[in-house]
Structure 1
Amino acid sequence: MPYLRLETNVPQEKIPKDFPATLCGVLAKSLGKPINYCCASVTGGVNLSWGGTDAPAAQATLMSIGALGVDQNKKHSKALYQTITQALGISADRMYISFVDAPTSAVGYNGTTFHDIFGG
């Protein structure tokens, strides 16, 4: 159920094809979730300006049911920043990550919600 959405002005052709799979591995390890539930999308070539320039930058949203919080987000942030900045050449001070701790009733899966899957 963890989902990372990354948008960047780095051109799509400069983003490794397997980068979403790499991010799924980082998510699974950092969040302690099964990789088969992890999802990541990377959209390059976004018309994005940071501080009024078009130098490489990104924004990301990480949604998860649980495994997020004050201390956990520091760990997730570190792991994601290391992976993203290294792979895409983005300076760490040119990216934000928003963390969304979703309730089980707000995430659909396999024709129902995790609220029903986890037994409400």
Structure 2
Amino acid sequence: MPTFVLNTNLSRSTIPDVLGEELTTVLSKELGKPVQYIAVHIVPDQMMHFGGSTEPCALCHLSSIGKIGSKPNKTYTKVLFDLVNKHLHISPDRMYIVFQDLEAANVGWNSNTFG
């Protein structure tokens, strides 16, 4: 049930549709989770400042039941930063990713919880 939320100050018109698809594929591979459980939310047009500047930037959040910290988060960081930079041209020094390992009992899906 990994979720990846990418907030950015870039306009919707500059975000290619393929980004969501590629994020889903990469997250499935890196986290070892089935594609059908991956949720990606890209939120454009945000009023954001990073380091006092409104130049392109992103604030991201990756959460998952397990897998956060089991493989070094540095691995996920590199892959995700590279993909976002490839499609959105946001410099890696203008982006944060916050990781959150979730308890299965605290995540609901399909009228139930995972634990």
TM-score normalised by L of structure 2: 0.96
**Whole-Å separation in 2 of the counterparts to 1:35 and 1:79:** 17
Q: Report the alpha carbon displacement of residue 21 of structure 1 after superposing the two structures with TM.
A: 1.7
Q: Report the alpha carbon displacement of residue 86 of structure 1 after superposing the two structures with TM.
A: 1.3
**Whole-Å separation in 2 of the counterparts to 1:10 and 1:20:** 15
Amino acid at match of 1:35: V
Amino acid at match of 2:15: I
Q: What SS does the corresponding residue of 1:53 show, helix, strand or coil?
A: coil
**Whole-Å separation in 2 of the counterparts to 1:96 and 1:71:** 18
**Which residue is equivalent to 1:36?**
36
**Whole-Å separation in 1 of the counterparts to 2:22 and 2:86:** 12
**Which residue is equivalent to 1:50?**
50
For residues 77-113 of structure 1, give each alpha carbon's deviation from its aligned partner in whole angstroms, at most 9, with x where no partner exists: 1110110011101000000000000000111110000
**Which residue is equivalent to 1:90?**
90
**Residues 97-108 of structure 1 mapped to structure 2, 5 A cutoff:** 97-108=97-108
Between the aligned residues of both structures, percent identity stands at 38
Amino acid at match of 2:63: M
For residues 27-72 of structure 1, give each alpha carbon's deviation from its aligned partner in whole angstroms, at most 9, with x where no partner exists: 0011111111101010111000111111000000001000111743
**C-alpha RMSD over aligned residues:** 1.0
**Which residue is equivalent to 1:81?**
81
Q: Which runs of 4+ in 1 moved over 6 A?
A: none
Number of residue-to-residue matches in the alignment: 115
Amino acid at match of 1:17: D
**Whole-Å separation in 2 of the counterparts to 1:70 and 1:78:** 16
Change in 2 beyond 3 A, CA 1:49/1:70? farther
Q: Which ranges of structure 2 fall in alignment gaps of 5 or more residues?
A: none
Q: What SS does the corresponding residue of 2:72 show, helix, strand or coil?
A: helix
